[in-house]
Structure 1
Amino acid sequence: MASMDREQQQAVYTHFIRPFLSRNDSSDPGCVSFNRGSKEWLQGNFGNFSGFATLQDLQALNSNISTVEVAYLLTVSQLAQLAASPSHLKTKMDVTNIMKVINPVNFGAFFDIVSPAIETHPANFTVEVKSAFLQEVYDRGNLSSPAISDTEFLLWLRRLSPLLVNLSPSLVTSLFNIGKKRGCNSSEKIITLLDTQRLTLSSNTQREIYTNILQSLQAPTVIQQIFVQKIISLDQSAASVVQNVPDAMATEIPSSSLVFSGPVDISKINKKTWTGEQAAMFFESLGETDFDTEKLNPTVLQGFTCNTVRKMKKKRVRGLIHSCRPRKGRAKVKLEETQLMCMYNQLKGNLSQDFAEYPSDMLIYLNIKDVQGANCRSYFTALGAADFTVASSVLNKDSGLFSEAQNCLGISGVKLNGGDVEVLGNMVCTLDSSYIENSDSLILEKLKVCKDLSASQVAAMEKLLQSGKTKYGDVTTWNAKTLVDLGELPLYLTENFWGQFKSKTKKRFLKTFMPKQRKKKVRKSKLKKLFKHISARKTKRGADCTVGNITQVTVSDNAFPFGYEVTQFNLCLDIPVLKDRLDSICQKVDDSDFQTVILRKLNEAYPLGVPEEKVLLLGSVSRVATLNDISKWTITKVDTLAELLKTEDGSWEAAQSKAIITKYLETPGNSLGATEINSIDSNLCSLDISSLEKIKPDSIRNSKPLNLASCSTEQQKVLYEISKISFVSQSSNPTTYYNLIRPYLGGAPLTDVVELSKQDIHMDLNTFQSLDPNVISKLTAADVKALVGANLPDLKVFENATAVETWRNLLTQAELDTLDVGLTTSRVPLTTTPPNPVPVKTTKGKATMANTVKTTPVNATSGGAQLAKHPTSMFLAALLTAVLLQLLQ
């Protein structure tokens, strides 16, 4: 037999063995009489040719054959035929007896036969049998192994599909586990499979599925979005969406799915976490309920805008503002500048002097005239808890408020005492270096909570520390505890400070400090600076690794790569270690020069192109990639796209982000769907108009609000037209429609903006300033007044912002006065002076006096030659000039 090929072996069985055993003229058909069991019969009559028989052949030739006895002698195909036989398998033990003789590498071929049989005749297979098959796959199939490609894994899901009917609750978690480390497509397919069997699943099984979805909160955001989209597809009504989506996953619900057709159950809403844009979708309903505003969670309160409260009673509005105040044991209500200014406008004329009863950040926008002199200290004490970064720089709030604080607290000079620092609180984050280096050392404690510090502030802080007049003592006494006690300040300190510490002390500190910073997702730019300053040392030139080869143990150290400078990092990092520990290395290396080394070595490791599973791990390292680097990457999956474009890893140059997105779209079947758009966000502005035009309305409707600030006017026009189609079904509800289309209004034409002004939408000033400048220039004072509604006073606050300043200088003072907010224009009105007599030569040669008109030119600072905007005036001027010339001839 060894000398025969497979075709010859098949011929032996077909033309000799089977005809001989099945002949009708024999007294012992099948030659079964003289065998002592099925094993002896099979081996004696078939030898090594038994594999060419079908199970039906064997059973026809020996009706008493014991498949249990000969199971280990049967081929995978024969075993599969046995398992697929109607009613053959009754119990878990029956399944175990068959599966134990099958090598896991042959599971695929086995289920390619068994699964279709179960799907065709489901009644022939009990839940116990199907559950046993599933358990065998979970236990021995090794489907979670990276060796199983995503394509093969999806094939396996199709094989398992018939086994999921009436799925047991105990098998749900294992199903999720085999797909846990795979891409979004795999996770989506698991949910889809379970969805197709939903009607057969018990409440316990569905509860277990829900629990596993909750646990997937630790999964990448893009996978959570796919889960949410799948849940929404089951029932798209807003009430059902709120009911079905896990509370902590609610932020992934598209705003368009939160349009309620009936009463809103605030108690259910209040259990979930929301974004401000989402909360605005249902915030208006708070005016129609007596739900206690004091019990609203902070994320619900983020929905407060002049648009969403426009129909509420004043008392209700004041109650909502009061509920946004700082409270112990509760997270801060995060509000944007326009929301805070709206709150202030709503309270004008009815402000209490108990400033702690208002949102801290709102106090930034109070007019000092609202504060009674005797209460100024309590005002600045409450203001000290504010986040001063919310205020636009054009408003100059920092210097203005500090000047008022100086007057109130009696501060003179640049030295602040401890009491002053305590009152000022977070305002110290806005002070210049002279105050920091000369003030009470308590200022260092206040600086710990600042969101950022300038180079001059850091220098002053270091000077104060090194003076030895702080609680941190003399420089010579500094140790590891000093670094810990400084809190977040080490993020900013320079080599002037770090030079006071031994290398061992710094490394020990980094072991605990860096994991905390990464967990908090501190900006990569800060971590880059920290590494530069703490590692400051001269580069050693040489051809050998002298610091120590980088091993798996080295990489596992939380202080890694501290101790290496770029030359040694390059020499000591071997490609096998890089390939094996790429994930950990990319997470811990923040220095741009080191990251460039990583990419170069990665290109060396994969000369034919970096595989997708490696690209997925690059993190912030990807930001130093050149277009040539990106051209070598494999980007076919949406989760790879999402990982590459994560904002916490840093921003992209437009050319690079365009290359990444384009590479993803080159894969057949990939498009700019909702999941992709959510991942791309502002990077959408790097794409060509032709690419943007391919986005479908459904994609915009099912995505999160986009940040289009970096898009050109032409790009915004394209996206606006698509969004109009996306949200046209909501156009009858002004509040809902405005909240949905607001991010795209930068591309709206004049006619649409004027139409919006008639809808009582109370447009905030940020949105107003984002409109097409050409559209703003054509809006009348009446248009703008109707458009911004209750936000009208903010025009005065933002009068020096480019968009507002340009617009007001196009109008006359008379037009601006109709707004009654104190706006002025630099436009000089067209004026005429009394006629002056001019001698004119008559036909008789006598001189007579004619009147001339002197036209005052428009001020050049008014934004251009204003006469160009008044063709009638130009015509009259030209006509008068022509007449005079005729008369003078």
Structure 2
Amino acid sequence: MWTREQAAMFFRDVIKTEPDFSRLSQSVLQGYTCAVANEMEPERVQELAKVMKRKNVKLGADQLSCLVKMVMLRGIPKDLDSYPNDLLLFLRPSDYAATGSCKQYFANVGKASLDLLQRESSERRQLLLEALACLVCVQGHKAGGCQQSEGAKMLLYSGIQFYLISLCLVLLQKIPGTQVNKENAKILGHLVCDLGGEYIRSSAGALLKELSQCESFLPDQEEAIRSVISSGNTTFGPPQAWSASTLNELTGLIPVLDHSIWQKVPKNVLTFWLKNFARDSRLSRAQLATIVEELLPSRQKRDVGCPGELRITETVLNNDLMPIYYTPEELRACLKNVSVTNDFLQILDYPFSNEQLAVLKEKLDETYPDGYPDSLLPKLGRLTSLITTKDISKWKITSADMLAALLELDLQNEQVGIWVCFPAQICFLVWELLV
């Protein structure tokens, strides 16, 4: 597989010698450059763009903004649906007005990679405004709303209509309780991710399925999602009636849920979901740890040794659900007679709560009081969130490969200041390796 940059280096030569673009791989096509496109006939660029859609080629924003100009050079193609959905993000209202149904247009936009446009950018906000205006003002709600007249249908072909609809929506947004029904939510697709908290509340559970596909949320969106879910007035029902399949459908919303919701979900449902579905979810270990915390035993603290039934064996170490069986105190007691082996190191990637992670770090600190060995450092996993400058000062990194492995660790933003030049040790090491 070529990277985008590598493919760009030979893209011109390939395009010049290959008459049938459909024979080119996805890996090669991602190397598209504006310079090469400017040397091609517009019809050939259109042909190339259609092949890109069929092969699901992912392009960057700069490539797409250039490609759309070439595709539209001789007017709006009548078969706009044949082009990559991502391309539609870079059209102007006057461009797509002539394509016919705004509903169909925004259905395609809703399938595009919305993150190609910066969140809260004017372009992205305008897309949402126009989409809602199309669906709310022109298409109309089944449960009452603006009714679509024959005149409105005809005006869809006019750029002026899209402008007027946008103004209409600006007014609608000032009215609390604006709703989006399930049908329109499906059409909006990824655009749902930009709807404000007021829309989410007013639309009840109609948006939850699409919202679960979003990568992140703003605070007011999170609050609205929790409010809707807590009400129980959705197709998923109240949290106390959820099943493992419900959690599976709501996977993308799990990071938003808080203790007030989790405490209502049956514990056996959470456990079953973790055992059977969590491994295939897109949730991070830190996010899964949130669920683990809800399942931690509620046994009272006691100053005794490790209970016999909780003794840590090789089988336990190989079970990635190990965290749900131990309170932090029990984990501390049961780790006392466990040596730091490869089996132990693999559990560092399990979804432990922060309190449990602190216990694991204690175990490593006791085992390696003079600093962790080189071989352990790249395997720290989520323990990196607990590493201090004092810990780092004890490390003995002796090779460039080890340094590279450390710099590839997935650090949280708040840790960057500690790691990047913690104070002078890594800088000195880099200097030593370079000279």
Pairwise TM-score range, normalised by the shorter structure: 0.7 to 0.9
The reply on whether 1:274 has 2:2 as its aligned counterpart is yes
Aligned residue for 1:500? 264
Given the alignment of the two structures, is residue 621 of structure 1 paired with residue 345 of structure 2, yes or no?
no
Structural RMSD (CA)? 3.2
Partner residue of 1:458 out of 192, 197, 222: 222
Contact 1:586 1:621 in 2 (8 A): yes
Task: Answer yes or no: is 1:432 the counterpart of 2:196.
Answer: yes
Counterpart AA for 1:656:
W
- Larger RCO (CA within 8 A; separation ≥ 6): 2
Q: Is the contact made by 1:540 and 1:567 (CA closer than 8 Å) also made in structure 2?
A: no
Matched, 1:657 2:402: no
Quote how far apart the aligned CAs of 1:367 are. Answer: 0.7
1:307-706 → structure 2 map (5 Å cutoff): 307-325=35-53, 327=54, 330=55, 332-349=56-73, 350-372=75-97, 374-393=100-119, 395-411=121-137, 413-439=177-203, 441-517=205-281, 522-523=283-284, 526-527=287-288, 529=290, 531=292, 534=294, 542-544=302-304, 548-574=310-336, 576-579=338-341, 581-589=343-351, 591-648=353-410, 650=412, 652-659=415-422, 661-662=426-427, 665=430, 670-671=433-434
Q: 1:504 to 1:572 in 2, by over 3 A?
A: farther
Partner of 1:249: none
Q: Shift of the alpha carbon at 1:589?
A: 4.1
Alignment of 1:787-826 (within 5 A): none
Counterparts of 2:113 and 2:233 in 1: how far apart (Å)? 28
| Structure 1: 5+ residue stretches without partners | 1-272, 672-693, 695-889
CA deviation after TM superposition for structure 1 residue 614, in Å: 2.5
- Give me the whole-angstrom Cα distance separating, in 2, the residues matched to 1:398 and 1:529: 32
Whether the 8 Å CA contact 1:283–1:303 is kept in 2: the answer is yes
Q: 1:658 to 1:592 in 2, by over 3 A?
A: farther
**Deviations along 1:465-494, whole A, 9 cap, x unmatched?**
344443323444323332234344334422
Distance in structure 2 (CA, Å) of the matches to 1:499 and 1:371: 48
The aligned amino acid for 1:361 is D
Alignment of 1:215-234 (within 5 A): none
Letter in 1 for 2:136: G
Give the greater-gyration-radius structure (CA).
1
> What is the TM-score when the length of structure 1 is the normalising length?
0.40
Q: CA deviation at 1:456?
A: 3.4
Q: Are 1:429 and 1:447, in contact at CA under 8 Å, matched by a contact in 2?
A: yes
**Rounded Cα–Cα distance in structure 2 between residues aligned with 1:416 and 1:426:** 14
Q: 5+ residue gaps in structure 2?
A: 138-171
| Residues 729-762 of structure 1, C-alpha deviations (whole Å, 9 max, x = no match) | xxxxxxxxxxxxxxxxxxxxxxxxxxxxxxxxxx
C-alpha distance in 2, partners of 1:636/1:420? Answer: 59
Report if the CA contact (8 A) 1:468-1:475 is conserved. Answer: yes
Q: What secondary structure does 2:225 align onto?
A: helix
How far the C-alpha of 1:593 sits from its partner, in A, is 4.2
Partner in structure 2 of residue 783 of structure 1 = none
**Contact 1:361 1:383 survives alignment (8 Å):** yes
Given the superposition, is the C-alpha separation of residues 291 and 619 from structure 1 closer, same or farther in structure 2, using an over 3 Å criterion?
farther
Q: Distance in 1 between matches of 2:371 and 2:299?
A: 31
| Corresponding letter in the other structure for 1:582 | F
How far apart are the structure 1 equivalents of 2:363 and 2:218?
Answer: 35
Deviation at 1:346, TM superposition (A): 2.2
Question: Structure 1 CA distance, aligned partners of 2:379 and 2:94?
Answer: 55
Q: Could you tell me how far 1:383 is from its partner in structure 2?
A: 0.4
C-alpha distance after superposition, 1:796-829 (max 9, x if no partner): xxxxxxxxxxxxxxxxxxxxxxxxxxxxxxxxxx
**SS across alignment from 2:272:** helix
Change (3 A) 1:274 1:552: same
Change (3 A) 1:494 1:545: farther
- SS, match of residue 653 in structure 1: helix
Report whether the alignment pairs 1:295 with 2:58.
Answer: no
Q: What is the count of residue pairs matched by the alignment?
A: 390
Q: Residues 332 and 359 of structure 2 are in contact (CA less than 8 Å); yes or no, is this contact kept in structure 1?
A: yes
Deviations 1:838-884 (A, max 9, x none): xxxxxxxxxxxxxxxxxxxxxxxxxxxxxxxxxxxxxxxxxxxxxxx
Equivalent in the alignment of 2:151: none
Q: Residue deviations 1:222-270, cap 9 Å, x none? A: xxxxxxxxxxxxxxxxxxxxxxxxxxxxxxxxxxxxxxxxxxxxxxxxx
The structural deviation recorded for 1:582 is 3.0
Deviation for aligned residue 1:524: 5.3
Identity %: 28
What amino acid is aligned across from residue 80 of structure 2 in structure 1? F
Q: What TM-score does the superposition give when structure 2 sets the normalisation length?
A: 0.77
Do the aligned residues in 1 keep the contact of 2:76 with 2:95 (CA within 8 Å)? yes
SS in structure 2 opposite 1:274?
coil
- For 1:657, give the aligned amino acid: V
